[in-house]
Amino acid sequence: MRNMLGEASSPYLQQHKDNPVHWQVWSPETLALAAQLNRPVLLSIGYATCHWCHVMAHESFEDRETAELMNRHFINIKLDREERPDLDQIFMSALNAMGEQGGWPLTMVLTPQGEPFWGGTYFPPAPRFGRPSFRQVLTALANAWETDQVRVGDSVAALQSVLAAQSAPRPGDPPGPATLDATRNAYLSAMDWRRGGIGQAPKFPNTPIFRFLWQESFRSGDARAAHAVELLLERMSRGGIYDHLGGGYARYATDEAWLIPHFEKMLYDNALILDLLALAHARTPNPLYAARARETVAWLTRDMRAEGAFAAAEDADSEGEEGKFYVWIRAEIFDTLGEDAEYFAQHYPAPEQGNWEGKVILERRTPLGEEDRLAPLRAKLLARRGTRTRPGRDDKILADWNALTIAALARASAVFAEPAWLALAEEVFANILANLSEPEGGIAHAYRHGKISAPGLLEDQAAMLRAALALYQATAKPNYLATAQRLLSVTERKFGDGAGSFFMSADAAQTFAPRARNVQDGPTPSGIGLMAENYALLHALTGEAEYRHKAEALLAAFAGSTDRLTGSPVLLAAADLLENAACVVVTGGSAELAQAALTAPDPAVAVLQVSASADLPPGHSAQGKTSTQPAAFICRSGVCSLPVTTPEAVRAALRRGGEPAP
């Protein structure tokens, strides 16, 4: 046996190709080898930009004595969680079922059949932090496998039962206003109303939750919900979690005040934050939102383009040190900016002793202004920073993360009057279809260097379907609607469970765990939540009753479990979209009326641009209402307004009764 990761396409697996551990890739052949040798599997899951994954690799996987222990007793598999989030979901759920807190690196021990029976996260090379050393863990597990397989079997059976229960639907009545009110209030009760965000340190953007709160502000009229979103965007956009020189938001902050980031930048975070910036700016134009949106798109186009799409992430570490690329010492700032340094420090403090471990993390302490003078100074610092060793970049292409970015660019293009962003979104969408389409019509999950490296998951189909609908609304090109409907057909066939819901994976052949369904949103929306949104949007755009029935069935599939709904804000937002969406039917080719609809701050708005002679679907409430003159019809709950002919009238007609004043 030998280390096989040199043959893998994943950047994360490539990082471990020179370890003395005999790493294998996840495959039926590897599990067959484990069964043949009757050895347990040691599964290590991480991702390329994970700081603690790097730490454990250096401490343990590069150590020959530790590697020898692993090679003697285990079949060792290394897995990229971003490449196989379906497997990561299963094993993280198993870890949580053991009463352990999740995280990466994720260390799981499996039977030769792939069934989990023990797990943990990071283990140090010597006992510390109240944790045993990794070698102690390996020795104990090897002994348990050799001497007590009855207990191992009991653990496997117990975990299988828990995983099956977690994955099973719990039907109930589709969530209504009372459920949405209760969930909104629960989230708002957890807010940090002084610094923004949820709870205390560490702080994550939690974008799906805040996107739900934003929509709730329109449905319920609860001004606190809108304020929570605006406070989050304000504090993150001024704090150190934002890269004030190069653009883009880091994954999370390790402190309460958004100053100290975990420096890795993820594509999905920036896509979802860009979408939220656009929605907030559409309601109350704010130069801070506009600046951060433009700077983030500049980062995407400058640093993240790869193979016609966007790379997955940038690392936190460079030269073996977290944040080294991004932080400063005061003397370097003053040397770079010369006589302008004191002025710059009035806006971006640079204390002598630093604000993090003796270094300076840039944060904006003053309101936006004087940018004509500050922008050239930031550019000087960016140029100086460019001479440093850059962090690594995970350049694999993930379909779902790119699709989230496409949809965000489509909305932001309209709100910030940047037509080039819409063209970019269309280009990336076309390239994802060209490079990641599977033979049976679905979308693969991962692609790198001309090679598909992971099969498609529900999230890929759902996010690409949503991106197609975003482009259809923005461009009025019928091919996008056709693509969305084709993807929907494939998704229902490959991922549908026959009872109105969906499995995460199309592969029903695995035997080591129940076929998983996931309705919980994490940093990204769940595939089930996105599918509910897609059905609701398709119903609003076409009027077809079938889409409404399917949305209702999906919403009901998990409505019998309150805890699941609390963790499923995207699904709950879809419930509002289904019941209360406004479809703006724009006729006569009026770009101004379409723009007014596309820049609506309420997410529960669908835009349908048609010609005067268009034959709308028979079930659409605007059937027969098209006009030869530029006009818009606002349709809600099967009833359309009289034609409105000015952008101001469109915006006024889209206001919901409970919407708080800007």
- Report pLDDT for 654: 96
- Looking at the whole model, is its pTM more than 0.85? yes
Tokens of 177: 């206003």
- Phi/psi-derived region of residue 416, left when phi > 0, alpha when psi is between -120 and 50, beta in every other case: alpha
pLDDT tens by residue, 233-253 = 999 999 999 999 999 999 999
With tokens 């610092």, the residue in question is 381
Nearest by Cα to 524 from 468, 578, 568:
568
Q: Are 156 and 86 a contacting pair, CB within 8 Å? A: no
Which of the residues in the chain have pLDDT under 50?
A: 509
Q: Are 64 and 20 a contacting pair, CB within 8 Å? A: yes
Q: Determine the residue type at 579.
A: E
Q: Are 644 and 653 a contacting pair, CB within 8 Å? A: yes
Q: Are 564 and 556 a contacting pair, CB within 8 Å? A: no
- Report pLDDT for 179: 95
- Report pLDDT for 462: 98
Please, where are the H alpha helices in 169-222? 177-189, 207-220
Q: Are 473 and 608 a contacting pair, CB within 8 Å? A: yes
- Report pLDDT for 588: 86
Q: Which positions ≥6 away from 214 have C-beta within 8 Å? A: 225, 226, 229, 276, 279, 280, 603
Instruction: Give the largest CA-CA distance in the chain.
Output: 82
Q: Are 587 and 209 a contacting pair, CB within 8 Å? A: no
- Report pLDDT for 233: 98
**Residue 173: CB atoms within 10 Å:** 11
- Report pLDDT for 508: 56
7 phi and psi angles, rounded to 5 deg: -95, 0
CA distance 428 to 403: 9
CA distance 34 to 25: 12
Q: How many residues does the chain have?
A: 662
CA distance 228 to 5: 45
- Report pLDDT for 281: 98
Kindly report each contact of residues 246-250 with a partner whose C-beta sits within 8 Å and lies 24 or more positions away, as own/partner. 246/299, 246/302, 246/303, 246/382, 246/385, 247/292, 247/295, 247/296, 247/297, 247/298, 247/299, 248/295, 248/296, 248/299, 248/300, 248/303, 248/314, 249/205, 249/273, 249/296, 250/316
356 phi and psi angles, rounded to 5 deg: -160, 110
Expressed in angstroms, the distance from the first to the final Cα of the chain is 65
- Got the DSSP string for 370-393? -HHHHHHHHHHHHHHHTTSPPPPE
With tokens 């005061």, the residue in question is 330
CA distance 107 to 42: 7
CA distance 175 to 562: 10
Nearest by Cα to 45 from 2, 89, 105, 98:
105
Q: Which positions ≥6 away from 265 have C-beta within 8 Å? A: 243, 248, 249, 250, 251, 299, 313, 314
- Report pLDDT for 616: 77
In degrees to the nearest 10, what's the CA dihedral of 647, 653, 654, 659?
120
**Residue 397: CB atoms within 10 Å:** 27
Nearest by Cα to 201 from 239, 234, 245, 237:
239
Nearest by Cα to 253 from 265, 262, 245:
262
pLDDT tens by residue, 53-82 = 999 999 999 999 999 999 999 999 999 999
Q: How far is CA 422 from CA 276, 410, 470, 575, in A?
A: 17, 5, 10, 28
Q: Which positions ≥6 away from 468 have C-beta within 8 Å? A: 429, 480, 481, 483, 484, 487
- Got the DSSP string for 82-100? TT-HHHHHHHHHHHHHTTP
Pairing of strands 582-587, 451-454: unpaired
CA distance 252 to 199: 13
Q: How far is CA 65 from CA 20, 62, 135, 385, in A?
A: 9, 9, 9, 39
Q: Which positions ≥6 away from 600 have C-beta within 8 Å? A: 282, 584, 651, 654
